[in-house]
Amino acid sequence: MVSKFIQVIDFLFFGIILYFMSGNKSDVWRDFRPEPGRQHITFEKNSLLLPELAILGWLHFSKAFDQALEEDAHPCEYEIHYIVNGEVNWWVEESNYILRAGTMLVIRPGERHGSRTGALEPCEHFWLRIALNEESALPGIDLKQTQKIKSALDSFEIRAFPVSRKIGGQFQDIVDEHRAPSEHSRLVCRALLHHLLVSVIRDYTAEGGNLGQSDISEGIQNCIKEITQNLDSPPTIEQLAKSMSISETAYRKIFRQQVGYSPLDFINRQRVREAEQLLSQGSWHIKEVSHRLGFSSSQYFSTVFKRVTGVSPGEFLKKLKTQV
């Protein structure tokens, strides 16, 4: 009882810290309050070290939440997202994007965007918004270089693309400087920001014709195919590792690096996506779907379903009825 009380106090204290660190938010992220399984920090306005930034943020969801990212648009700012791990389903204008670990999304000024599903899924990612225009230079670089950066971002034909992991480190360093600012933090952040923008452009250019193509190896692609074709009785880790002639430990590591999830998490996510399709048809009961997809019990099915989507199967069906 005492330990539980201490956990509650620790959690409330953490929430208070995040509130003061994040400043007075006016962004769609303002509704994401700290709670178990969800950590979120946002810097904007007076809490930002760099006036050229409109917002800087980091979030980590260890479980899904039944709260979509509502439609948003920023007339004068570019919005850049980097996915550290997990998966995010977003839309920009008329296009849908599934963003996985190591992927970046660039949203141009004025473009409408939001989350594609009714829940934000387990993930960790960084984002920022920055104002770029052709009339004024970014602090620290001249107008000509600023125009080159803006022109490069405007030329991106593909919005979501894989980038090097160093970009995640650059984002992390910028956030860390904001969390514990010191005498030279503003100068450090500006250098990091310039480096990040150039890294994004270089990674896009370096990928060239391979942009948009999967960076998942053929062996893992074959494993994914085997899993998705046998969701009711998926192959074991031992079988999948053997098919690639590697150890189970190596298989788990490679799978997570390339897909962004552990093999078990991936299997369960695919099962839940199939369950959503079946339940949406209106003719399947929850127990029938659970049995069809190979879950050991309907209770375990409900647990996994809520972990992935943020709602139970029953709540999912209720939402469907209200949308009719």
Are both 43 and 191 inside the same structural domain? yes
Are both 194 and 277 inside the same structural domain? no
| CA-atom Rg of the chain in angstroms | 22
Whether residue 65 has pLDDT greater than 90: no
Q: Residue 238 and residue 200: Cα distance in Å, rounded?
A: 38
Q: How confident is the model at residue 149 (pLDDT cuts 50, 70, 90)?
A: very high
Are both 116 and 159 inside the same structural domain? yes
Tens digits of per-residue pLDDT, 189-205? 999 999 999 999 988 88
Q: Residue 274 and residue 229: Cα distance in Å, rounded?
A: 11
Tens digits of per-residue pLDDT, 231-264? 889 999 999 999 998 899 989 888 887 776 788 8
Whether residue 54 has pLDDT greater than 70: yes
* CB-CB contact of 101 with 121 (8 Å): no
Q: Indicate which CATH number applies to the domain containing 297.
A: 1.10.10.60
Are both 190 and 249 inside the same structural domain? no
Tokens of 313: 């199967």
Are both 159 and 254 inside the same structural domain? no
Q: Among 210, 244, 275, give the residue marking a domain's end.
A: 210
Map the chain to HEC letters: CHHHHHHHHHHHHHHHHHHHHHCCCCCHHHHCCCECCEEEEEEEHHHCCCCCEEEEEEEEECCCECCCCCCECCCCEEEEEEEEEEEEEEEECCEEEEEECCEEEEECCCCCEEECCCCECCEEEEEEEEECCCCCCCCCCCHHHHHHHHHHHHHCCCCEEECCCHHHHHHHHHHHHHHCCCCCHHHHHHHHHHHHHHHHHHHHHHHHHHCCCCCCCHHHHHHHHHHHCCCCCCCCHHHHHHHCCCCHHHHHHHHHHHHCCCHHHHHHHHHHHHHHHHHHCCCCCHHHHHHHCCCCCHHHHHHHHHHHHCCCHHHHHHHHHHHC
Average pLDDT, the chain: 80
pLDDT score recorded for residue 7: 45
Which residues contact residue 22 at a Cβ distance below 8 angstroms, ignoring those fewer than 6 apart?
Answer: 40, 41, 42, 43, 44, 47
* Count of alpha carbons within 13 angstroms of residue 324, beta-carbon side: 9
Whether residue 294 has pLDDT greater than 60: yes
Whether residue 32 has pLDDT greater than 80: no
pLDDT score recorded for residue 31: 47
Domain count, the chain: 2
Q: Residue 182 and residue 122: Cα distance in Å, rounded?
A: 33
Are both 205 and 241 inside the same structural domain? no
Q: 7 versus 50: which is more confidently predicted?
A: 50
pLDDT score recorded for residue 23: 40
pLDDT score recorded for residue 321: 76
Q: How confident is the model at residue 36 (pLDDT cuts 50, 70, 90)?
A: low
Query: Counting Cβ atoms within 10 Å, is residue 233 exposed (0-12), middle (13-18) or buried (19+)?
Result: exposed
Share of the chain above pLDDT 90, in %: 26
- Range with the lowest mean pLDDT among 51-55, 61-65, 122-126, 135-139? 61-65
pLDDT score recorded for residue 196: 95
Mean pLDDT of 23-46: 63
Are both 142 and 163 inside the same structural domain? yes
Q: Among 210, 241, 260, give the residue marking a domain's end.
A: 210
Are both 189 and 52 inside the same structural domain? yes
pLDDT score recorded for residue 61: 81
Are both 285 and 238 inside the same structural domain? yes
pLDDT score recorded for residue 290: 92
Backbone angles phi, psi at 263, to 5 degrees: -55, -40
Are both 125 and 54 inside the same structural domain? yes
Are both 91 and 134 inside the same structural domain? yes
pLDDT score recorded for residue 192: 95
- Range with the lowest mean pLDDT among 17-31, 161-175, 250-264? 17-31
Are both 201 and 132 inside the same structural domain? yes
pLDDT score recorded for residue 86: 80
Q: Among 164, 189, 210, give the residue marking a domain's end.
A: 210
Q: Indicate which CATH number applies to the domain containing 132.
A: 2.60.120.10
Share of the chain above pLDDT 70, in %: 81
Q: By residue range, what is the domain housing residue 257?
A: 218-323
